[in-house]
Amino acid sequence: MTITIDIQQLYENDYLAWLENNIKLLKLRQVADIDYENLITELEELAKNEKRRVRSLLEQIIRHFLLYQYWDLEKSRNAHHWAAEIISFRNQINEDLTTNLRNHLDDNLSMIYSNALDYVKTKSQLINLPESCPYTLDQILDKNWLP
């Protein structure tokens, strides 16, 4: 007696089992049985999430750069905290950075900077912040560089 798995129902009711089933089918090269529609959707979402994650980390680094470099009133109290946060975010972003994700960050650097700038302006009430990103992607990712 053979039990046929309704792959669509499995996707809706038990995501982990659906995922494991598709992995097994891929490993066995049983491509005719793969749930392509949902697999493509999941892979697209995975790519979006990875891009969103590295953009968020880069924005955090830039926020802390701006605070570190320009918020003199708070620097004596917070400089070590900001520097430590920069290290943490850099470690996270550099751990999984691929050429594709790096290119994505490079292509979106001005938008990411703009988001960071909005945050820092609101938090610090500073008015002397540069409107365009004063940092290169290489500087931002360099473990030994601070503004």
- List the chain pLDDT tens, one digit each, 147 residues: 344 467 778 888 999 999 999 999 999 999 888 899 999 999 999 999 999 999 999 999 999 999 999 999 999 999 999 999 999 999 999 998 999 999 999 999 999 999 999 999 999 999 999 999 999 999 999 999 999
Of 53, 21, 22, 20, the residue nearest 36 (C-alpha): 22
CA atoms within 13 A on the CB side of 92: 16
